Chain A
Amino acid sequence: MTLLGIDNHLPALQVVIPLMGAPLCFLLRRPALAWGFSVAISSATLIIAFLLLQTTLQTGPLSYALGGWAAPWGIEYRVDTLNGYILLLVTAISTLSLLYARTSFEHEINSAQLPLLYAGWLLCLTGFLGMTITGDAFNVFVFLEISSLSSYLLISLGPDRRSLTAAFRYLVIGTIGATFILIAIGLFYSMTGTLNMADLAILLSKNTESRTFHAAIGFLLIGLAIKAAIFPLHLWLPNAYTWAPSAVSVFLAATATKVAIYLLLRFLFTVIGADHSFNLFTLNQALLPLGVLAVLIGSVVAIYQDNIKKLLAYSSVAQIGYMVLGITLVSLSGLTATLLHLFNHALMKGALFMAVGAIFYRTGSLRIADLTGLGRTMPLTMAAFLISGLSLIGLPLTVGFVSKWYLVMGAVEANQMWLAIIILLGSLLAIIYFWKVIEIAYFHHKSSEAPVVNEAPLSLLIPTWILVGANIYFGIDTRLTVGVAEKAALLLLGGAP
């Protein structure tokens, strides 16, 4: 890897490769070529993310001056354990869901639109990676908009006409959120004259009484809460995830809100500083009720859905609630739980949405009532759904158990037994909405005139089962995920940028 000193430029390549790949992908015109090309690009980013995380684990944070302009003036890309971990998650999910996407897209989308769709996908990936890797506050906004605009496009290409209105509503709410973030960054800049996050952290801590600062924090929190779909600002999410093409639902459900949660962590802990965020401004007390309500209301609303993707989307709202609860504990185990749940939720929701996509491929329906008998006719798909669903509930030996365990432990350590009870209550509610699906698929007999359905094709099953395997593997061997998550949590609490 020392060829041409290319390994020194990995942080820039992480973002530049998918950015350059997107227009090329569009120029390829042939859907199969565009697909192969985007898989190659996405795999390249996965390899880079892996190398970056490995380097930071061995030698500490990497700083890269974009264009050779030194840090506070130029744009700095900064990779530490925390965002290295998120980069790996995003690129891994993107690559897996692209592998899944080909068959699923060919079935759902007009082939003339496919090269455009893959180009949009790569742009969306660029946006996520850029937001994660950058150490510059304004750069965050730019990449946020790149990812948002391309995700509106991806959602609007869904097979149902309701995808258009879902995309439009997401565009309106998302733009307001992004503009709020822009205002906050502007206010930070007007106070300090810098956009570099590390520099901002130092300069902002000198002026915590300023009303500009307080207003900026308000705008920032609301903007990020919209992007992360934190209750009650989650209203864009259920429709967007429900009507998007199946593979897009997999990609967005597993990554979009995770990156926003990462930004929330980065701004609260690094830029504003943990001490200011939680001792001076007591933002945890503002976030705590939102997290509790998200877990309870998200789960209860999920029980009443009759569209399976909508059920999963509301369950996502509840799972984001768990991540918020982990943040509000402001302790090592709380933050570890949040970071673990970021990763684990991506694994389980990815697998669940893939299974649902496979069901849609065969049955053409998203209604839970139409799932009757699928336990027999599509055994492998339903088994994948069952296992990742058990992981969502938090059964031992699955990843869901690990993150809930840390979260409950964090709540008990903080002497908040009621919080531990709410977390367990959330799991009970998850059993109810999940059981509803399982009961229909496995125990209801199909009427004789219903069409015969076959098992989903291997091209859909293999990526699904890789994710299901990851759900079990990381549930048993927790060294990698817990180790990295704990390191990243320590980094956040240490206040080091």
Chain B
Amino acid sequence: MSNLGLYNYWIVITLMMIGFYTVMASHNLVKTLIGLNIFQTSVFMLYISFGKIANGTAPILSESHTLYANPLPHVLILTAIVVGVATTALGLALVVRIKDAFGAVDEETITLEEEKEE
């Protein structure tokens, strides 16, 4: 099988790098969270890809199928999705509080404000 045959993994890596770059490069706290979300989503896709076998179906016994895919990674990733939602919610709540306290959601402005207090 050629390398491109496993194209899911290329998508995973691309998304992961886009997310990671956004987290590092963005000065806007909301954009940082978006980057974090993309980064986490890539991992969800990684797990889902593990669980898929070519031509495999859902593991429900039936006479017409002999090849089944493993559903466990999908179940695991449901948990991780919940965690991702909770993280985003908490992150956004913090951004709202930061906006109230500093009057900005921009990393540089906030750092300047913080340095004033030192």
Residues on A lying within 8 angstroms of B by beta carbon are 138, 141-142, 145, 149, 152-153, 156, 161-162, 164-165, 167-168, 171-172, 175-176, 178-179, 182-183, 186, 189-190, 193
Contacts of B70 in A (CB 8 A): 193
The answer for the CA separation of A145 and B94 in the assembled complex, in Å, is 17
Can you report 20 residue pairs joining A to B where beta carbons are below 8 Å apart? A138-B79, A145-B87, A156-B94, A161-B102, A164-B101, A164-B102, A165-B98, A165-B102, A165-B110, A167-B94, A171-B87, A171-B94, A172-B32, A172-B36, A175-B36, A182-B80, A186-B76, A189-B76, A190-B50, A193-B70
Scan residues 1-28 of chain B and give those whose CB is less than 8 A from a CB of chain A. Answer: 20, 23
A180 to chain B: closest residue by CB? B43
Q: Known interface pairs A164-B98, A168-B29, A179-B40. Does A186 touch B90 (Cβ–Cβ under 8 Å)?
A: no
Contacts of B40 in A (CB 8 A): 175, 179
A145 to chain B: closest residue by CB? B83
The answer for the CA separation of A164 and B43 in the assembled complex, in Å, is 28
The answer for the CA separation of A172 and B91 in the assembled complex, in Å, is 8
Residues on B lying within 8 angstroms of A by beta carbon are 20, 23, 29, 32-33, 36, 39-40, 43, 46-47, 50, 70, 72-73, 76, 79-80, 83, 86-87, 90-91, 94-95, 97-98, 101-102, 110, 114, 117
Closest Cβ of chain A to B8, distance in Å, is 13
Closest Cβ of chain B to A165, distance in Å, is 6
The answer for the CA separation of A36 and B44 in the assembled complex, in Å, is 41
The answer for the CA separation of A471 and B90 in the assembled complex, in Å, is 37
Q: Known interface pairs A164-B97, A183-B43, A183-B46. Does A141 touch B80 (Cβ–Cβ under 8 Å)?
A: yes
Contacts of A190 in B (CB 8 A): 50
Contacts of A176 in B (CB 8 A): 20, 23, 36, 39
A178 to chain B: closest residue by CB? B83
Report whether B98 and A162 are in contact in the complex, using a CB–CB cutoff of 8 Å: no
Among B76, B79, B90, point to the contact of A152 (Cβ < 8 A): B90
Closest Cβ of chain B to A444, distance in Å, is 22
Q: Known interface pairs A182-B80, A189-B73. Does A156 touch B50 (Cβ–Cβ under 8 Å)?
A: no
Contacts of A168 in B (CB 8 A): 29, 91, 94-95, 98
Contacts of A152 in B (CB 8 A): 90, 94
A168 to chain B: closest residue by CB? B94
Closest Cβ of chain B to A138, distance in Å, is 6
The answer for the CA separation of A142 and B20 in the assembled complex, in Å, is 22
Report whether B94 and A164 are in contact in the complex, using a CB–CB cutoff of 8 Å: yes
Report whether A175 and B87 are in contact in the complex, using a CB–CB cutoff of 8 Å: yes
The answer for the CA separation of A156 and B94 in the assembled complex, in Å, is 8
Top 6 A-B residue pairs of the complex, sorted by shortest distance between their CB atoms: A161-B101, A190-B50, A145-B83, A168-B94, A164-B98, A186-B47
Closest Cβ of chain B to A72, distance in Å, is 12
Report whether A171 and B50 are in contact in the complex, using a CB–CB cutoff of 8 Å: no
A contact patch SS: helix
Further contacts, 8 of them, CB under 8 A, given A161-B102, A168-B29: A152-B94, A156-B97, A161-B101, A162-B114, A164-B98, A172-B91, A176-B20, A186-B76
B93 to chain A: closest residue by CB? A156
Closest Cβ of chain B to A473, distance in Å, is 39
The answer for the CA separation of A189 and B23 in the assembled complex, in Å, is 27
B33 to chain A: closest residue by CB? A172
Report whether A138 and B76 are in contact in the complex, using a CB–CB cutoff of 8 Å: yes
Closest Cβ of chain B to A409, distance in Å, is 42
Closest Cβ of chain B to A169, distance in Å, is 9
Contacts of A162 in B (CB 8 A): 114, 117
Contacts of B43 in A (CB 8 A): 179, 182-183, 186
Closest Cβ of chain A to B77, distance in Å, is 9
B23 to chain A: closest residue by CB? A172
Report whether A171 and B90 are in contact in the complex, using a CB–CB cutoff of 8 Å: yes
The answer for the CA separation of A161 and B102 in the assembled complex, in Å, is 8
Closest Cβ of chain A to B53, distance in Å, is 12
Report whether B50 and A189 are in contact in the complex, using a CB–CB cutoff of 8 Å: yes
Contacts of A145 in B (CB 8 A): 83, 86-87
Report whether A149 and B39 are in contact in the complex, using a CB–CB cutoff of 8 Å: no
Contacts of B117 in A (CB 8 A): 162
The answer for the CA separation of A176 and B16 in the assembled complex, in Å, is 11
Closest Cβ of chain A to B99, distance in Å, is 10
Contacts of A161 in B (CB 8 A): 101-102
The answer for the CA separation of A94 and B47 in the assembled complex, in Å, is 35
Contacts of A183 in B (CB 8 A): 43, 46
